[in-house]
Amino acid sequence: MPALSTLAVFCAAGLALIVVPGPAVTYIVTQSIDKGRRAGLVSALGIAAGGLVHVTAAVLGLSALIASSASAFTVVKLVGAAYLVVLGVRRLLSNDDVAVPELSPEPAEHSRLFVQGVVVNILNPKTALFFLAFLPQFVDPNRGSVALQAAILGTIFVAMAVVSDSSYAVAAAALSDRLRNSVRARRIQRWVSGTIFVALGATAALAKRS
C-alpha cells in the first residue's frame, strides 16, 4: 500500500494533469453537447472503463510492448484513429437535424455510447504509455507488491478523472440545452461534433511515441 504522503503527492499531480482538457475530455464534451447530459456522463464512464483497462495492462506489463514496439504502437494508433474518423464521418452524414433530439436516450443508446467510450480510450496508445510512465514514479518496492500499488494508484487516478470528466459533461450539456430547440443550432452542432471526431482521428494518426 502506498504511503499517505505518496498518495497525497500522487493525487495532486494527477489532478493537475486531469483538469487540463485533452482528447478524452474533447470527446466527452462533444457527445454531451451533441446528445445531452446523460450521453456525456455515459461517455465519461466508458472512457473511465477504458482507463481501467489501461491500468490493468500497465500492471501486467502489456503496455511495455507498445512502448518498445514501433509496429504495435502504429497498429493501435491507426486503428484508434480510423475508429474516430468513422464516428466523425457518420455524424457528418447523419440527417437528424429536423426532429428534436430525445432528452432521455434509450438504454440501448446508452450501451452503445458506453462501448464507444471504452473503445476510444483503449485504442489510444498515448494513454497506455502515460500510465506506464506515470504510475511507477509513485511505487515504492519496499512497501509491498509493486503490482498492487500500481493498481491502487491507477484506480484512484481513474476515479478522479471520472469526477472531472463528468463535470465537463454537465457543463457542456447545460450550454447545449439552451440551443436544443433550434434547428440551425442542431445542424451546427452536428457539423462541429463530426469535424471534431475527424480531427481527433487525424491527431491520433499523427501521434508519435515519446
The predicted-structure confidence for 184-193, as pLDDT tens digits, reads as follows: 656 666 677 6
Instruction: Provide the mean pLDDT of the chain.
Output: 78
State the cell numbers at 158: 481513474
Contact status, residue 85 vs residue 198, Cβ threshold 8 Å: yes
Indicate the Cα dihedral angle 36, 38, 41, 46, nearest 10°.
-100
Average pLDDT estimate for 46-52: 93
Q: Is pLDDT of 103 > 60? A: no
Of the pLDDT bands very low, low, confident and very high (cuts 50, 70, 90), residue 41 is very high
User: What is the C-alpha to C-alpha distance for residues 173 and 181, in angstroms, rounded to an integer?
Assistant: 13
Please give the pLDDT value at position 118.
93
Q: Which of 22-36, 98-112, 195-209 has the lowest mean pLDDT?
A: 98-112
Summarised one tens digit per residue, pLDDT across range 60-98 is 876 666 666 677 667 766 776 777 787 778 777 776 554
What is the secondary structure of 20-71 as a DSSP string? S--HHHHHHHHHHHHH-HHHHHHHHHHHHHHHHHHHHHHHHTTHHHHHH-HH
> End-to-end alpha-carbon separation of the chain, Å?
29
User: What is the C-alpha to C-alpha distance for residues 93 and 19, in angstroms, rounded to an integer?
Assistant: 32
Residue labelled with grid coordinates 477504458: 50
Q: Which strand (E) or helix (H) includes residue 161?
A: helix 146-177
Average pLDDT estimate for 127-156: 81
Q: Is pLDDT of 209 > 60? A: no
Please give the pLDDT value at position 49.
95
Q: Which strand (E) or helix (H) includes residue 208?
A: none
Average pLDDT estimate for 37-43: 91
Please give the pLDDT value at position 102.
47
